[in-house]
Structure 1
Amino acid sequence: MKSYSTLFLLLLVTCFATAQTDEEISKDPDLQKKAIEKAKNKPNIIPVTENIFMLKGMGGNIAVQHGKEGVLMVDTQFERTSESVLGIIEKETENTPQFIVNTHLHGDHTGGNKNYKQTGATVFSHQNVKDAMLAALYNEAEEKVMKEIELMEEAAKDNDKEAQKALERNRDRAKTKLEQPLDLDTSNIPSISFDNNLTIFYNDEEIKLIYLANAHTNGDVMVHFTKSNVIHTGDAFVNGLYPYIDRSNSGTYKGYQSAINTILQTANQNTQIIPGHGALATKADVAETKKMLEFIYEKVTFHFMNDKTEDQVAQMRDITKFYDEKGYGDGFISTEKFLRSVYKAVQKNEGRKKARNEQKEKRYKEMQKRVKKEKDGKN
């Protein structure tokens, strides 16, 4: 066990404020563990404007807008970070969040929803986010029932006839669960959803929730605090990192490029931009990402058209050298993963063009053979 003085310094540095005294914590391993865990989950506060601050830590970046009407929060990180995040918000604003906007469905941005809903918050998201989160709950519940049925069927094989009949009855009862409304825990699901764009007027500010179709996912929204000149982009822009194009949730490379253009069109030179991940950004940082996306797409397209395979392109560090040296590949998406993602996008977007070019080349070669044959025949 750590000495009292060492533990005291640890707790002082991590700012673990609880009802327990330092001496009580020093004598209780469980409290020590909780202190360390809470410190690890505690995000950093980055001031943005007088009434908006950013919380950067585990998971996606959070924006907090506060004023005379209350607190609006953008994204909720993970469930396990909720206590630390809520503590900071209460300390900084003397309030708990009244409204929350989810920029997309991923758990590092929505994981804490239910904890804030329990304090009275109303969560907004695009309809596709709500649909996808509900679908995941249904799939999980159905898989659980199917697993029960499989176990029953497996057990029935090694039992006598009476036991088999009993197991079959239980199996049949389990199957009926799939035909009835499933009992789902929807506490993490957004309460209010919208199809396209939505405007909220809160704390004397017009806040625009702008849909970015098929970018990082099919449910991305950016949050524009118009009066404060602040934008939270969600993962439709990550600062100084290679982006994740979530193809399983209908994200596309072209959609991501379009989202970057929308952010650039919305921002001006003084706009402060809170990215989904990475440091607080400016319009120039978004422009740098646009340049990176275009450059790498162009290079991968060249190699694709010249019959290079995905595995070959994934190892071409000359393509990404400039951005790798800036640390773009040090995040969730490595250089190799990003190159593979771009290759798949190029394959989908440029594949028909390549096929047409190959057909033209084939017809041209066949024509040359016919011409040569005719010339040889005349001679």
Structure 2
Amino acid sequence: MKNSIFLLIIALSFRAMAQPNIENASISTIKIKNHIHLLQWEGAGNMMLLSGKDGNILVDDQFAPLSEKINAAVQAVSKGPIRFLFNTHYHGDHSGGNENFAKMGAVIFAHENVRARMALDSTKIRFRQKPKPTPEAAWPVITYKEGMTLHLNGEDVIIFHVDNAHTDGDVLFYLLQSNVLHTGDCFMKGRFPFIDNNSGGSVDGWLNAASRALTLIDEETVIIPGHGDLANKKDYRAARDAVMTLRDAVRKEVKANTSLDGILAKNLAKDYDTTFGSGFIKGDALIRTIYIEQVNKK
């Protein structure tokens, strides 16, 4: 019961954090390369626009009420319809505009678990807590299991699934020629990760995803995180190392049969809160998530 209450508080906090002043939202455009732009509003997930002779390709689309503003921002960079829309995962601050953009003609791609969660397909997904289904028009029409590669607008875009990380449907996008990585919510700059274990996420999976991404990129890689400003490999590595240190410390305490209250009393995250506590997940919340995961493994 305590675990369920804690997860509910986290979910409500995430929802509150994700939608500040949506009526007055303004979409910012930041050029990374002439054909690659970050589209950003602080109340939802970061978007990436890949434009060029093959048309506009958009990664993530925030909330439905913002679709017209997002499309206007796209048109200001590159005239023409959005040809393909990709979701990094199924959360509404990254996929809430799917139905609107589908009606504009975009073809939606995502991991198969994204479609399964939107459709509440219990043949593919085991739900701990069932959300409401989204309209069928919002569902991805092309799905994949492990990943795929696009050859568009002068880029080889490597898309790869990472298992049970932020959710069970996360994918990362790496643009080979331009050395740009979009992580979705598998990385949020200056923030502890939100592990949605009601949607198949896990701390160990998040760490594996981070380590996999870090082996792919170099010090010159430009990273578009799920939330926050543009980042680099050093930023991503620092977040991975902090979470790994806390995971290992909690694991040690669990093996010693220390209670959750006893672990929290040790204030294990005190050295990281000032660096990674800018989001709604604070150190103690992450410690609780790690604890629950480790106890369930015993």
Partner of 1:343: 291
Match status 1:54 vs 2:3 = no
Q: In 1, distance between residues paired with 2:283 and 2:39? A: 27
The 8 Å contact of residues 76 and 112 in structure 1, kept in 2 or not, is answered as yes
Change (3 A) 1:294 1:188: same
Partner of 2:273: 324
The 8 Å contact of residues 270 and 283 in structure 2, kept in 1 or not, is answered as no
1:212-244 Cα deviation digits (max 9, x unpaired): 111111111001111111110111111111111
The 8 Å contact of residues 314 and 337 in structure 1, kept in 2 or not, is answered as no
The amino acid of 1:71's aligned partner reads N
Q: In 1, distance between residues paired with 2:157 and 2:245? A: 33
The 8 Å contact of residues 273 and 282 in structure 2, kept in 1 or not, is answered as no
Q: In 2, distance between residues paired with 1:184 and 1:321? A: 40
Structure number with higher relative contact order (C-alpha < 8 Å, ≥ 6 residues apart): 2
The 8 Å contact of residues 182 and 223 in structure 2, kept in 1 or not, is answered as yes
Question: What count of residue pairs does the alignment treat as equivalent?
Answer: 272
Q: Radius of gyration: which is bigger?
A: 1
SS in 2 for 1:223: strand
Partner of 2:70: 85
Deviation at 1:307, TM superposition (A): 2.7
Match status 1:111 vs 2:96 = yes
Partner of 1:163: none
Partner of 1:374: none
Please point out which of 194, 212, 216 is paired with 1:244: 194
Partner of 1:98: 83
Deviation at 1:329, TM superposition (A): 2.1
Q: In 2, distance between residues paired with 1:257 and 1:325? A: 21
Deviation at 1:143, TM superposition (A): 10
Please point out which of 175, 183, 193 is paired with 2:143: 193
Q: Which runs of 5+ in 1 are unaligned?
A: 1-35, 145-182, 352-379
Change (3 A) 1:82 1:143: closer
Q: In 1, distance between residues paired with 2:229 and 2:258? A: 35
Q: In 2, distance between residues paired with 1:295 and 1:37? A: 36
Match status 1:307 vs 2:257 = yes
1:58-87 Cα deviation digits (max 9, x unpaired): 211101111112111110111122121111
Q: What stretches of structure 1 move > 4 A for 4+ residues in a row? A: none
Q: In 2, distance between residues paired with 1:189 and 1:130? A: 6
1:222-267 Cα deviation digits (max 9, x unpaired): 0111111111011111111111111111111111111001110111
Would you tell me which structure has more helix in proportion to its own residues? 1
SS in 2 for 1:54: strand
The 8 Å contact of residues 41 and 80 in structure 1, kept in 2 or not, is answered as no
The 8 Å contact of residues 146 and 161 in structure 2, kept in 1 or not, is answered as yes
Change (3 A) 1:99 1:260: same
Q: In 2, distance between residues paired with 1:325 and 1:134? A: 39
Q: In 1, distance between residues paired with 2:271 and 2:134? A: 48
Would you tell me which structure has more strand in proportion to its own residues? 2
The 8 Å contact of residues 214 and 252 in structure 1, kept in 2 or not, is answered as yes
Q: In 1, distance between residues paired with 2:209 and 2:131? A: 35
Q: In 2, distance between residues paired with 1:98 and 1:105? A: 20
Change (3 A) 1:300 1:184: closer
Q: In 1, distance between residues paired with 2:135 and 2:239? A: 39
Deviation at 1:125, TM superposition (A): 0.2
SS in 2 for 1:222: strand
Q: Which runs of 5+ in 2 are unaligned?
A: 1-20
Identity of aligned residues (%): 31
The 8 Å contact of residues 196 and 211 in structure 1, kept in 2 or not, is answered as yes
1:146-182 Cα deviation digits (max 9, x unpaired): xxxxxxxxxxxxxxxxxxxxxxxxxxxxxxxxxxxxx
Tell me how large the CA RMSD over aligned residues is.
2.4
Deviation at 1:184, TM superposition (A): 8.0
SS in 1 for 2:90: coil
Change (3 A) 1:143 1:212: closer
Q: In 1, distance between residues paired with 2:173 and 2:141? A: 18
Partner of 1:133: 118
Match status 1:333 vs 2:276 = no
The 8 Å contact of residues 229 and 270 in structure 1, kept in 2 or not, is answered as yes
Change (3 A) 1:115 1:288: same
Change (3 A) 1:45 1:143: closer
Match status 1:276 vs 2:226 = yes
